[in-house]
Structure 1
């Protein structure tokens, strides 16, 4: 069902709302600044001054207006200043990893977040509760089931007049218990449409905007489940496998042309995400200077991504990941990690699949020379360049996936021209 949308301008931020709804009262404008996220990344490790670490800690203690009002007081202790914010587009900001990343970015005081969300009112309520400054966000409706909504989002973003520094494709759906396939507006399976095709279209439409930035980045969130050379991706069925891509070519329910499997559809879409990042790197990095990367932020066992799982699974899975595998990562820490890839100078390298070597041996890659898994997962640790699977690195298949995806979203002749 499509909604007629109207836009309003308030406090320098453009918000688009469903027609007929009553705009909620905005939070008072709050000056808000810090240097880096301090909560889990660690101020000393990231070279953050003690003053700015204090400010970030104040902002992260709670997501309430009271906590945010601590920030101006802290700034008064060390001198004030309001540097111009960089702009990042972040999809799926109203829940899960996206919301945690939004909060981490807000804590830096250095970013203006363009929130691509289905439910604008829900996101506005979150912002009102958090008391975030009006110049730090813009809400634009984005329904990733609809390619037309993606095009509308791009048009409305350009209407803000903001320059784009980073595009981060985060939003995803996981439908493991779906009895049969559901579809996006253009007739492709829903997981593939939301997780891969719509983000593929979004990236291609915004390449010309991104390349104008001094240090442009494009990040697509990957997953251990789409990386079959890992313990988590190669030991738990069904495995991600795009086959010969005949299903995508023929508009079948699965990319490999086989029968529908909701869990596999998700894994296949994340595999497609990671392959797309490498193909973007091969096609456009040298020409445009855009840094293309993917990441696995860790196993966020307590997230709405698992909302289709049975209740017993949702209760026991976090316990299992915390106390058996050690692979558990909180939403807050995962948000800090994605924020790190968005903002950190050390992540300004293209064609990389980022991971963190925390306390679990679940996200690394098998090293045949040592006969063991290298790399790790779980909470804590340092960021490192992980090794994608052979399937992810298959250039021939990556090129074919690109061509079929471009055809699916109607960009066969537009992709090159846009850059």
Structure 2
């Protein structure tokens, strides 16, 4: 990718970010964000990736507050004990725990799933939340570009490995749910099936947007497979908006400075950013409903390309190859 192409990718990402910020600022001035009322979730089990920080932490805490057994899947084991202690203390829920899972390592993802399944418990909600944003060019343990490998492939593998448990845990009128966190940057993302690793030239902004676009395509195809199989599992996308977290440490210095000074004003708090994920995870209005893109707890349209079924299938097949997963298309469609 030429310097000009990289600059264009950056401008597109910052333009869509600015649009979201302006919308949030307007809403803040007109009364702000009102916390939704969520129903209690006793006897339900959730896995939240990236639950030690930011939106993931807020999501895990909110689900625990609703009475869920919450398993935080993360790679920050240094913070794990304190995070678990804090959530237990603030929610009065003792069913909160941490299991190590590094999404940059397929070996680690498989080990996490093995440890989870050894618990012999159901799984009603999987929140694919963890991610990296605009990091310098580097690779995962398996040799994949980090945005694509962590944000997308790690979650693709994790979801597929947990599908059997999710299917066994869902029931008529009480489906299990897969919630995948994307971003408005997917609207400016470009998916090149011949260069998913950005090897023709690296742009941190372009790679990030591509990973978020891939997550939407993945969710829609997953929902189609689940529906075809008659599974009591749904899959939806949650867009948290622009949230005041530590993910922005790699952005352009001017943007970072603006966020540092004014972020409290135009950004959502991690709690506000988590509400759409929690809504997708527990709202009765979404019972049996999948294949939706949700923003501010409401359904909206994603990029037109994301509804391209051929592209969805092609990405799915390529992802199975990259993760060493069996292509479940045939299994799912045959029930």
Give TM-score, length-normalised by structure 1: 0.65
Give the CA deviation at 1:115. 0.7
1:242 to 188, 191, 194: 191
Aligned pairs for 1:394-405 (under 5 A) are 394-405=308-319
**How far apart are the structure 1 equivalents of 2:298 and 2:254?**
34
> 8 Å contact 1:285–1:292 — kept in the other structure?
no
Which structure has the bigger radius of gyration? 1
1:333 to 260, 272, 275: 272
2:255 to 313, 317, 335: 313
1:32-91: per-residue Cα shift (whole Å, max 9, x none)?
xxxxxxx94244xx6x7xxx9xxxxxxxxxxxxxxxxxxxxxxxxxxxxxx842101110
2:47 to 69, 74, 89: 89
Change in Cα spacing, 1:84 to 1:185, as seen in structure 2 (3 Å) is: same
**How far apart are the structure 2 equivalents of 1:182 and 1:167?**
27
Instruction: In structure 1, list runs of 5 or more residues that go unmatched.
Output: 1-38, 53-82, 228-238, 357-382
1:252-290: per-residue Cα shift (whole Å, max 9, x none)?
x31xx5311111111100000000000101112231121
Give the CA deviation at 1:212. 1.4
Greater RCO structure (CA 8 Å; 6+ sep): 2
Give the CA deviation at 1:197. 0.5
Give the CA deviation at 1:247. 1.4
1:280 to 199, 219, 222: 222
Aligned to 1:164, the other structure's residue is in SS state: coil
> 8 Å contact 1:93–1:123 — kept in the other structure?
no
Change in Cα spacing, 1:126 to 1:240, as seen in structure 2 (3 Å) is: same
The aligned residue for residue 131 of structure 2 is 172
Instruction: In structure 2, list runs of 5 or more residues that go unmatched.
Output: 1-32
**How far apart are the structure 2 equivalents of 1:405 and 1:225?**
21
**How far apart are the structure 1 equivalents of 2:36 and 2:142?**
45
> 8 Å contact 1:91–1:98 — kept in the other structure?
yes
**How far apart are the structure 2 equivalents of 1:167 and 1:329?**
23
1:283-314: per-residue Cα shift (whole Å, max 9, x none)?
122311211100112111x2111112355433
Aligned to 1:168, the other structure's residue is in SS state: strand
Change in Cα spacing, 1:129 to 1:167, as seen in structure 2 (3 Å) is: closer
Change in Cα spacing, 1:174 to 1:285, as seen in structure 2 (3 Å) is: same
Aligned pairs for 1:284-303 (under 5 A) are 284-287=226-229, 288-300=231-243, 302-303=244-245
The aligned residue for residue 155 of structure 2 is 199
The aligned residue for residue 364 of structure 1 is none
2:80 to 123, 144, 153: 123
Between the two proteins, the alignment pairs up a number of residues equal to 293
Q: Which moved more, 1:204-213 or 1:119-128?
A: 119-128
The aligned residue for residue 290 of structure 2 is 350
The aligned residue for residue 168 of structure 2 is 212
**How far apart are the structure 1 equivalents of 2:262 and 2:154?**
34
Matched, 1:262 2:204: yes
Greater per-residue helix proportion: 2
**How far apart are the structure 2 equivalents of 1:338 and 1:111?**
15
> 8 Å contact 2:55–2:270 — kept in the other structure?
yes
Aligned pairs for 1:64-103 (under 5 A) are 84-103=42-61
Aligned to 2:307, the other structure's residue is in SS state: coil
**How far apart are the structure 2 equivalents of 1:416 and 1:201?**
17
Aligned pairs for 1:135-174 (under 5 A) are 135-174=94-133
RMSD, aligned CA: 2.4
Give the CA deviation at 1:187. 1.3
Aligned to 2:138, the other structure's residue is in SS state: coil
The aligned residue for residue 35 of structure 2 is 41
> 8 Å contact 1:40–1:336 — kept in the other structure?
no
